[in-house]
Chain A
């Protein structure tokens, strides 16, 4: 299954969104994390010193709520990545 990951903060150097391929059947937010790490591992477009650390310190969310890593993702669902926040 595929999902579109909306990108924010430091992940914006990769674009506005990223399409990720997840295992068919039941996929969770933890699977999104793994798929993203695979995707960026060899990319030099994400210009942060510790790419995997940034993914590890990020949360995932829908438009309404933050998600836990065991949340089951639906096909074509729009999920956003939320790196450490700095508003106000």
Chain B
């Protein structure tokens, strides 16, 4: 049976990202494992004290990239995987949740691998940008990954 996929971008002024929401979505009687990745805002980057991050997102293409990546994960680790990806848009303080990825699968091996694959692909492929806010009042867009034509191949 084919697994379910949910992907979205949430404006954090309206809604806080939720681990429980991810777990509830990927739950299933065929699961022997449920895996979660949570991205959070750290208080420092490259020697500077960070007080928050604003996430800029090109929403339609970002959502499409999440769906493509989830389908690739199902092709690699099983069509029955249940997958959940939600990324934040807007400003987060320290400790704020920027992304929740949840995987439900029959066995633990594919749950770890699919989860890792999804976050690595999003970091390299999804049209999302970070504006870091520093304690001295300055803000800077972080360096990123240049998009290239190649698709990062799944590690089996």
Contact = CB atoms under 8 A, between A and B. Distances in A.
| Bind each other | yes
Nearest to B124: A85
A87 B126 contact: yes
Contacts of B98: 88
A85 B64 contact: no
A87 B14 CA distance: 20
B1 interface: no
Nearest to A62: B61
Interface residues of A, number: 23
Given A88-B39, A88-B119, A63 B126 contact: no
Contact of B61 (A57, A61, A84, A88): A61
Interface string A11-29: 0100000000000000000
B55 interface: yes
Given A9-B144, A57-B146, A64-B64, A87 B58 contact: no
A87 B62 contact: yes
Contacts of A86: 123, 128-130, 141-145
Nearest to B64: A64
Nearest to A57: B146
Contact of B58 (A8, A10, A57, A84): A8
Interface in B1-46: 39
B73 interface: no
Interface of A: 6, 8-10, 12, 48, 57, 59, 61-66, 68, 80, 82-88
Interface of B: 39, 55-58, 60-62, 64, 87, 98-99, 119, 122-131, 141-147, 149
